[in-house]
Structure 1
Amino acid sequence: MIPVLHNTQSSQRLAEVARTVYGLGFNYLIVTKAVGSAAQVGVPEAQKLAYKFGRNLLVLADLSEAIELLQPRKVLLVMPGKYGGRGLHEALAEAAKELREGDKVFLVFGGVEPGLSQRELKLGEMVSPEGVEEDIGTVALVAISLYRVNELLRRQP
C-alpha cells in the first residue's frame, strides 16, 4: 500500500500529509505534480520528515509517470462518497484476495480541491472511505483512509 499525493500547491498540506502517512506507519509516500510553495518548501519538509521517521519519499512530475515507473497492480483514487465509486473497505478486501507478495497498490489523494481531474480519474478505480460523504479536506481524507487501511491489514492473517 503506497499513498500518493497528487497535484498540490500547499507546502503545509504536503508536510501534514507526510506527517500523517509516516505517523501511521506507512514506509513510502509518493508526491506527484507538486508546484509552487509545495515544490519549494513542502518537498524539503517532507524529505526531512521521511529522514526523521526512517521512511521513503519519491517525488515525480506526474501521476502517470509514477504508475509507469512503479507499475502498481491497482490504483485506487480516494474521493469523498458524494463523487461516487466503491467503498474503500470493499475495494481493499477484494485487492487483498488477488494480490501477490510484492504487488503494489497506490492510494491516490488529490492535493487541491475538489480532488482529481477527469483525466486522472481514468487512471484507476474511484473509491471512498465509508462514512465520508462530503469534502473534508485532503489531510483528513488521508488520515481516515489510511487508518482504515491499517485496521484492515491488522485483521488479515
Structure 2
Amino acid sequence: MATYTVIPVLHNTNSSQRVAEVARIAYGLGYNTLVLSRVYGPAAQVGIPEAQKLALRHNCNLIVLSDLPEVVELLRPNVILVAVPGKYGGRELSEVLKELEGKTSGGEASRIAVVFGGAEPGLSQKEMKTGELVHPDGVEEDIGSTGVAAVTLYLVARWLSLLRTRGATTREGV
C-alpha cells in the first residue's frame, strides 16, 4: 500500500491568535508537523513562540519559512492542496482525496502539503495557483481561515484513519 505524509501549511498571517489556533488544531488532530510561511507582525513576535510551545508539549515539529516557493522547494510535496471556502472555487476535498488514493495504490510514497491562507480574505490569485484548489465538503461560505483549516484538517485526518484500517501507511507530518 501507499505511504502518505500530510503537512499542514499556514501561509501569510499577522495574527498571533490564528497561528496558535491552527497549531492547536493541527497538533490536536495528530499532525506531527506544522509549517508557517510568511508570518509577520504579532504572528511572528507572539504567535511563533506560542506555536513552538504547543509543538514541544505535543512532541511535534514547527517549521517557519519565508514564503510558499520556499515551502515547495524544501519540503518537495508530490501534491499541493490549497484549501479555500467553496465560493472561491475548487473541487470538493473528498473527491480529490479519492483520486490521490487511486493514483498511489502501488506502494509509492505521497507527500501532501495542505495550504491555508492566514489573512483575510485569504490567499491571492497567484498563491491559489500554487496547487490544486479544494474546499472542504459542504463549506461554501467564508467561515474564516481558522474554520477552513479545522474542517479540512479533520477531513484529511479522517481519510488517513480510513486508509490505516485498509493497510496504508500514513504519517501526519514530516
2-side partners of 1:98 and 1:14: how far apart? 33
* SS class of match (1:57): strand
- Note the residue ranges of structure 1 that are not aligned, 5 or more in a row: none
1-side partners of 2:110 and 2:16: how far apart? 30
The aligned residue for residue 88 of structure 2 is 83
The aligned residue for residue 98 of structure 2 is 93
The aligned residue for residue 46 of structure 1 is 51
Identity %: 55
1:98 deviates by 2.2
CA RMSD in angstroms, aligned pairs only: 1.1
1-side partners of 2:100 and 2:32: how far apart? 19
The aligned residue for residue 74 of structure 1 is 79
Post-superposition Cα deviations, 1:18-65, rounded to whole Å, max 9, x if no partner, equal 011000111110000000000111001101100000001100000111
Structure with the larger RCO, 1 or 2 (CA within 8 Å, 6+ apart) = 2
1-side partners of 2:91 and 2:142: how far apart? 16
The aligned residue for residue 3 of structure 1 is 8
Structure 2 length as normaliser, TM-score? 0.87
* SS class of match (2:139): coil
In terms of mean alpha carbon deviation, does 31-40 or 95-104 score higher? 95-104
2-side partners of 1:98 and 1:41: how far apart? 41
Q: What count of residue pairs does the alignment treat as equivalent?
A: 157
Structure 1 residue ranges, 4+ long, deviating more than 4 angstroms after superposition:
none
2-side partners of 1:122 and 1:146: how far apart? 20
1:101 deviates by 4.4
Mapping for residues 116-131 of structure 1, pairs under 5 Å: 116-131=123-138
